[in-house]
Amino acid sequence: MSQLDLALTAEVSARHVSFLETGRAQPSRDMVLRLATALSVPLRDQNQLLVAAGHPEAFDEPAEDALAGPIREAVDRMLAHQEPYPMVVMNRAYDVVLLNRGARDVMSRFVLDPSALGAPTNGMALLFDPRLARPFVLDWPLVARTLLSRLHREVLERPNDAALGALLRSLLDLPDVPRDWQAPDLAAPSEPILPIRLRRDDLSLAFLTTVTVFNAPQNVTVEELRIECYFPLDDETRRACEALARQT
């Protein structure tokens, strides 16, 4: 976005934007928020911009386990409605915050070594770690490369996010992750959906996964929640999930 485009989007003069960029003027709190909104800056980073400009933070950041009220009620309803199919709620670093019974059922059957699960469980590590679900993911290179491309983009967009950077490095350091995956594949498409197929012994599951986020929540923690839903790709998976639910 050019300086003029930013000024037009934020409804300020291009001259003032130029003065702010060169340090000839100091932005007010309202100006920081206006420019950050025009640039689609995440709320966490908007708080950092405000502090850097000498203003107090504008957006709350409660701990994930402190979520309450209508947001938590909405998430709980979504988790229940998704049964018997898996649904997982993760934070910005892909740590699992909440999951429904369907997700627990599937995870319990597709983790090689449950003692290797971290606390909290990390959704990316679950797929990449050979001690966890990785041995049971069909077409693992394709699925893993797609998710890694997504993570690479997020790290590039937020270079100061230590949690995302640490997660990326930890995944690349796992055994048998190709070394040429170290460089981001920016040509890879960022698909809104991802098929994933799992097989262990005589149990085979095929899911279509989607990721949903809250729109304009005015809350850092809520904005960063990722709601991942798994939908059966075939009747075999549908029947298997229903059977797993009856068993538990």
What are the φ and ψ backbone dihedral angles of 10, each rounded to 5 degrees?
-85, -5
Element (H, E) at 87: strand 87-90
pLDDT, position 91:
93
pLDDT in tens, the chain (248 residues): 777 777 777 788 888 878 778 788 888 888 888 888 888 888 888 888 889 889 998 888 877 766 778 888 999 999 999 999 999 999 999 999 999 999 999 999 999 999 999 889 999 999 999 999 999 999 999 999 999 999 999 999 888 889 999 999 999 999 999 999 998 877 766 666 789 999 999 999 999 999 988 876 688 888 889 999 999 999 999 999 999 999 87
- CATH assignment of 64-146+187-247, among 3.30.70.1560, 3.40.462.40, 2.40.10.120, 3.30.450.180: 3.30.450.180
What's the predicted TM-score (pTM) here? 0.83
pLDDT, position 243:
95
Smallest Cα–Cα separation from 59: which of 238, 233, 217?
217
pLDDT, position 216:
65
Rounded CA-CA distance 174/151 in Å is 15
pLDDT, position 58:
86
Under a CB-based contact definition with an 8 Å cutoff, are residues 130 and 114 in contact? no
Residue in this structure with the two tokens 């005015």, named with its chain if needed: 218
Sequence spans of domains, the chain: 3-52, 64-146+187-247
pLDDT, position 192:
66
Q: Write the burial class of residue 130 (CB in 10 Å: 0-12 exposed, 13-18 middle, 19+ buried).
A: middle
